[in-house]
Every structure is written in structure tokens, then in C-alpha cells.
Amino acid sequence: MGLPTFKEIHEQFINFIKGRHLVIFKAEFDLKFVNAELNRLNYPSTVSDICAEVTCAMELAKEKFGVKRISQDAACLRYGIDISARIKYSAELDASLCAQLFYKLLDDTVIPLKSTPQQNKHAPIKAISIPRALKIKRLVHTPNLTSVKIQSVKTLVSLLRTLPIKPTANLNED
């Protein structure tokens, strides 16, 4: 693929992290690999010795959410961080998501969701039936519905019409 080896870029890498605060999502895991590469080159220090501080964003997230395990994507979703660009593994995307997550974790004014929203991109879309109760004309004439509820139902029906669904009845009939 034409990418440089760690041996070829290790000096640039060391200069980049020297004296800096590194934030890594799964720090313990990642540092083992980087330190092993430094060791192969007979470099006398570890990443923790080279930089000023290493913070594990996963540990911060686990503490913040009171959980034993959490993935980067799950933590991002709790804060509404867009992960839709994740199609395949990308170190650059991981770093960007980790940075966004780190700032959210430190900002006490940002309140995360209590649980991770369900994400199932790979589930096949199934046709669903729309019950006759969703007929707009009948709902409009129901005396207990407020205009806000009527508008909400109209919006829902409009949304349902854009989905690949199979209605049980024609919504426009009386």
C-alpha cells in the first residue's frame, strides 16, 4: 500500500508526542503495540516516558457511565457524536472520534444519554403494516386530538410513506 513502516517514521512520531498529552481510547492496548515497536528499534524509552501525560478515554467513559465495558462507538453515540463515517477501520477516524469524545467527557455541561442508542445498520428492512387507525381523515375528525397531536400523526404518516413499507389499507380512502 506504500505506507511507511514504524522504523521509517519513529523519529517523527517521537518528536510529535514528546512532552504532549496523549489521549487514546484504549490506551493500555495501543501502548503495548507502540512500546513493542520502540523496543524492536532498541529505543530506550516508552511512550509514557516520552510524553507528558497519557489519558485513556475508555477509562474516563467507563467511569462517567458507570459501566465495566464500553466501545468507542457506543460512548460516542451516548454523546450524539456522528459515527456514520465508520464504514471500515480508519486510524484517522478513530483519532478524530476519540478527540471529540474526550472533550465531551470533560464538559460537565454536556449530558450524555443514559444508555447507548441501538445501531443495527446491517438488519434487513422489513415491510411493516400500517393499521387502519393511522388514516389521517379519521384522526382529524376524532374530537379528543389536539392540533399538535394531529400534526404529529400527519408527520408520522408522511414519514411512513417514505419508507419501504406495505400498508394494510390505503391511507387516502375514507
Please tell me the predicted confidence (pLDDT) of residue 120: 52
119 falls within a domain? no
Please tell me the predicted confidence (pLDDT) of residue 139: 47
CATH number at residue 39: 3.30.420.10
116 falls within a domain? no
Q: In terms of domains, do 151 and 83 share one?
A: no
Quick one: pLDDT band at residue 115, thresholds 50, 70, 90?
low
Nearest to 3 by CA among 91, 94, 96, 95: 91
Nearest to 76 by CA among 59, 92, 91, 58: 58
Count the Cβ atoms, other than its own, within 10 Å of residue 97.
22
pTM of the model: 0.63
Expressed in percent and rounded to 5, the helix, strand and coil fractions of the chain are 50, 5, 45
Q: Per-residue pLDDT tens for 44-82?
A: 999 999 999 999 999 999 999 999 999 999 999 999 999
Report how far Cα 30 is from the mean position of its chain's Cα atoms.
20
Residue count of the chain? 174
Q: In terms of domains, do 83 and 139 share one?
A: no
44 falls within a domain? yes
Q: In terms of domains, do 97 and 167 share one?
A: no
Q: Per-residue pLDDT tens for 120-173?
A: 555 555 555 555 545 544 444 545 545 555 555 566 556 656 655 554 445 454
Number of separate domains in the chain:
2
Full residue range of the structural domain in which residue 166 is found: 124-174
Q: In terms of domains, do 17 and 97 share one?
A: yes
**Alpha carbons 139 and 133: distance in angstroms, whole number:** 8
Mean pLDDT score of the chain, rounded to an integer?
Answer: 79
Quick one: pLDDT band at residue 87, thresholds 50, 70, 90?
confident
